Each structure stands twice: as C-alpha cells, then as structure tokens.
A and B are shown apart, each in its own frame.
Chain A
Amino acid sequence: MSNKGLEILIEPQWALQGTKYSEAEFESDFDLDSVSAVFYVMSNVLYGNGVCFELRISGREYKTLSAELVIFLEELLGLIEFTNRNEVSKHSLDFYEQGANYSLKFEKANDGLYVLEFIDRSNPSELVKSEGLLLDLNFLLYTFYCRFIFLANKFCPEMSQNELYLEWKINVSRMFKMEESI
C-alpha cells in the first residue's frame, strides 16, 4: 500500500489569460438535456484554454483528456456522498471511454480511513492499492470543485448559468454542507 494515494487535479497548463476558445463553438451541437451535456461543453472549452484534468494514483499519472474530466464531473456527487455519509460504505468510479478504462473502488475501513483499489483495465496487470483519510479525500474533492467552479465561471460564463448546472452545484454544495452555492 502506498501513502501517496489519490490525486485529482484541474490545472491550467499555462498562465490564465483571456478566453481563446469559447463555449459557443460547442453548445449548438447538442441538446442541453442533461448536466453531462453542460460538462461536455465546459470540458472542451477548458481544454481549449489550456486547463487539464490530472489523475495520479500513488504518484503515477494516468492519461486523461476532456472525456475523462466529463466522467469525473458526472461522478463527483457520488464520490462526495461516499466521503460525507456514514451509511455509504463503498463507491465505484469508472473512467470508461475508448482508450481509458480505469476503475477506482473506494471502501471505508473505519470512520476516518478508506482503502482505494485502482485497476487500469487498459493494462490488465495494473492493480494499485492505497489508503487515505476520508477527511483528506473530502478536502481533495472540495478543492477540485472550487477550482472547477472558478474556471467554469471564467471561461464558460453562459454555461455557468444553465439550470441543470446550477442544480448540480446546489446539490454538491449541500453535500459539502456549504451555506450557499459558490
């Protein structure tokens, strides 16, 4: 087991500048009938502006692109629920898109500790186990969420007003027990 555990980041690859790549280039393609559609537009815009999603397990970086960011955003609420609610003892998060097939299985060991089993199915021999503190994981997710919201507000001002997205934010904020949505 490694102590390094899980790292999930959303990072600008260069100094943030004005928007070079706008949300208008994507939004006309799809119906915004699911929050996933909003995440799709936002992820493409963020990647177009040099913001990348990073996944590291025990210090090793696993390849991700905008599709994996969408998947993580779709799964974020469930993962926060795992960290915050005592009655939720397990959670699975699957990054499944062509080329990437990562499975993260979280299980609570006790009130404060969780065990993570990471399987890279695109490389069958790859199985990594680590453990970490639930509070640490909660903080990791909170930090990710705040950074994502900041970047989405800056680069995707129209999409940031989408009703499904606002509803998602309210649900996430409630899960973090925040007084109001940021």
Chain B
Amino acid sequence: MLTTAALIKGRGTGVNIEGLTLKGLSLNWTWKSVKTFGHIFTQHGAQLKIPQLADRARSFGVAIGQWTNNEKAAEFIKGIYDTLKDGENIVDILAGLGQVVNADQSIISTTKAIIVKNAEGATNALKTGYPIVEKVIR
C-alpha cells in the first residue's frame, strides 16, 4: 500500500503541509477530478480496456502507458506535485503502479512515468501523465 507520507518529496514554498503548497492543497486530489488530473486518468486510467490502449498504440506506433490503480497513482502524483516543474517531468514510480500496452496487446511493467504539469492559469492543473518504457520518452 502506498502511503502519502512515504511518497512525499515536496519542497514547497509558503504554506507547506505534508509537502504540498497552498496551491496543491486547494486541488481536489480524487482521481476522478479532471480539473486536477487533466488527461492522466481519462487517457491512461486503470478503467481503460487493453484493446482501447492497443488501438492508440497501433495508430501512433508507440506503446501506451496505463496506471494500474487510479487511487494509488493519484496519491503518488499528489505526493510529488510540489516538486514538478511546468511541462514534462520524468519520475520514478513504484513497481506495479504502471505498465505500457503494445499494439499487439502485450503488456510490460515499468517504473518510469512522465507527468506533464500545466502552467498556472490553465483550466486543468496537470495536462497528462503516463507510465513509459524506460529510456523511451514518447
């Protein structure tokens, strides 16, 4: 079980409670919140079926990342949110939290992910985020 305390690496400025700044605290950290998570779970959530992800993998020629547990992934992202810069961030994730789906529907576990943070003022706090095959950025 991933716990928030175990995952937090926040540095933060201003109000800092468990690694989250005031801005982070104001977000709804339920994985179902698109306003917080953007496309992270709509496009890469555990609820998606393997053939759906394989379709995109086939269309674009890249393996597509999937979180295996939306609640745990949301908790993980909440924990590192304050350390993220705007744009792409490559982060380590715990084994079992993410996988990538190939065009042939085969699955590979991974321990890396990209989290893309939006600049302040954007509709959604995060743009997207997905597990990736190690050493492969996109």
Q: Which stretch in A3-11, A53-61, A93-101, A109-117 binds the other chain?
A: A93-101
- Of A31, A74, A98, which one neighbours B138 at CB under 8 angstroms? A98
Q: Given A97-B128, A98-B138, does the pair A33, B60 have CB atoms closer than 8 Å?
A: no
CA distance A97 to B35 in the complex (A): 17
- Given the complex of chains A and B, what is the CA–CA distance between A100 and B56 in angstroms? 10
Residue of A nearest to B114 (CB): A98
Q: CB distance A36 to B38 under 8 Å?
A: yes
**Contact partner, A99, options B62, B116, B123, Cβ 8 Å:** B62
Whether B34 pairs with A37 at a CB distance below 8 angstroms is yes
Binary CB contact string for chain B from 42 to 61 against chain A (1 if under 8 A, 0 otherwise): 11110100000001110111
Number of A-B contacts (CB under 8 A): 78
Question: B interface, how many residues as a size bin?
Answer: 20 to 34
What residues of chain A lie closer than 8 Å to B44, measured between beta carbons?
98
Q: Does any Cβ of A come within 8 Å of B127's Cβ?
A: yes
Q: Look across to chain B and name the residue whose beta carbon is closest to the beta carbon of A32.
A: B34
Cβ of A40 and Cβ of B62 under 8 Å apart?
Answer: no
Selected interface stretch from B7-15, B25-33, B78-86: B25-33
A169 nearest CB across to chain B (Å): 15
Q: Does B39 contact A (CB under 8 A)?
A: yes
Known contacts A30-B41, A36-B38, A122-B138; A98 and B30 CB within 8 A of each other: no
B65: Cβ under 8 A from any A Cβ: yes
A94 to chain B, nearest CB (A): 9
Binary per-residue interface labels of chain A (1-38) against chain B in the complex, 1 for a CB within 8 Å, 0 otherwise = 00000000000000000000000000001111111110
Name the distance in Å between A116's Cβ and chain B's nearest Cβ.
22
Given the interface contacts A35-B123, A65-B56, A122-B60, does A98 sit within 8 Å of B43 by beta carbon?
A: yes
- Given A34-B35, A97-B39, answer yes or no on A63-B60 (Cβ-Cβ < 8 Å): yes
Interface size class of A (residues with CB under 8 A): 20 to 34
Interface string of A36-75 (1 = CB under 8 A from B): 1100100000000000000000000001010100100010
CB contacts (< 8 Å) of A74 on chain B: these are 123
Per the bound structure, the CA–CA distance linking A35 and B42 in Å amounts to 13
Given that A96-B127, A98-B44 are contacting pairs, would A33 and B59 also be in contact in the complex, using a CB cutoff of 8 Å?
Answer: no
Is B64 an interface residue, CB under 8 A from the partner? yes
Q: In the bound complex, how far is the Cα of B44 from the Cα of A37, in angstroms? A: 14
In addition to A29-B32, A30-B42, A33-B35, 10 A-B residue pairs with Cβ atoms within 8 Å of each other are: A29-B47, A34-B35, A34-B123, A36-B123, A63-B60, A96-B128, A98-B56, A98-B62, A99-B56, A100-B60
Which residues from chain A sit less than 8 Å from chain B, CB to CB?
29-37, 40, 63, 65, 67, 70, 74, 96-101, 121-122
Please give the residue numbers on chain B whose beta carbons come within 8 Å of chain A beta carbons, in ascending order.
Answer: 28, 30, 32-35, 38-39, 41-45, 47, 55-57, 59-62, 64-65, 116, 123-124, 127-128, 130, 138
